[in-house]
């Protein structure tokens, strides 16, 4: 078994849509970034990459590469899912916490879980997503952006153990 942790943070940008976990969340601003700036997907991506001993999301998908301009971050998760499979790993579970003063996110979490699970080809019960407030403190509390932290557990399996049950 291996564990990885990921973190991402982006400032708000009034000219963008807010995308979290591949879900469009109605809000006055989106997040600034080269791709869709989906902090949830980015933190999960870095956690998965770290767990399997790879470098970070920016190394694999450079932020100055025009082909990633405005791209859905679910694409990154699809590619990382393939990388994990090719290295013989399966995802056991992932857990993420989105940190934002605004907007309120609880109503969108079921959709986020469904999209993340479908993209990674895992069961929704393997995905935990929570949202918390920074209670008015700092950059996030001043409603200047959103951050997310994620942790994942993966396991190496034998060729016939794609369901994660067989150990090597």
The response to whether 60 counts as a known ligand-binding position is no
The response to whether 58 counts as a known ligand-binding position is yes
Q: What is the pLDDT of residues 38-65, one digit of tens each?
A: 999 999 999 999 999 999 999 999 999 9
The response to whether 8 counts as a known ligand-binding position is yes
Burial class (CB in 10 A: 0-12, 13-18, 19+), 127: buried
Distances from the Cα of 72 to the Cαs of 22, 36, 38, 122, 158, in angstroms?
7, 6, 8, 19, 32
Q: How far apart are CA 103 and CA 111, in angstroms?
A: 16
Q: What is the pLDDT of residues 5-35, one digit of tens each?
A: 999 999 999 989 999 999 999 999 999 999 9
pLDDT of residue 100: 98
Domain spans, the chain: 2-156
The response to whether 153 counts as a known ligand-binding position is no
Give the CATH superfamily of 2-156: 2-C-methyl-D-erythritol 2,4-cyclodiphosphate synthase (3.30.1330.50)
The response to whether 160 counts as a known ligand-binding position is no
The response to whether 4 counts as a known ligand-binding position is no
Rounded mean pLDDT of the chain? Answer: 94
pLDDT of residue 59: 95
User: Do the strands 89-99 and 30-31 form a parallel or antiparallel pair, or are they unpaired?
Assistant: unpaired
Q: How far apart are CA 153 and CA 75, in angstroms?
A: 21
Whole-model pTM: value is 0.93
Share of the chain above pLDDT 70, in %: 94
pLDDT of residue 158: 73
The response to whether 19 counts as a known ligand-binding position is no
């Amino acid at each position: 078994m291996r564990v990885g942790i990921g973190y991402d943070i982006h400032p708000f940008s009034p000219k963008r849509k807010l995308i979290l976990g591949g879900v469009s969340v109605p809000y006055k601003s989106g997040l600034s970034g080269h791709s869709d700036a989906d902090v949830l997907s980015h933190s999960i991506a870095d956690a998965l990459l770290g767990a399997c001993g790879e470098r970070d999301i920016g190394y694999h998908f450079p932020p100055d590469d025009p082909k990633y301009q405005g791209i859905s971050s679910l694409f990154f998760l699809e590619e990382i899912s393939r990388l994990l499979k090719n290295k013989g790993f399966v995802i056991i579970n992932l857990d993420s916490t989105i940190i934002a003063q605004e907007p309120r996110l609880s109503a969108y979490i079921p959709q986020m879980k469904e999209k993340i699970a479908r993209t990674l080809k895992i069961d929704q019960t393997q995905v935990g997503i929570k949202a918390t407030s920074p209670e008015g403190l700092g950059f996030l509390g001043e409603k200047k952006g959103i951050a997310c932290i994620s942790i994942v557990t993966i396991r190496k399996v034998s060729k016939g153990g794609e369901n994660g049950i067989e150990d090597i």
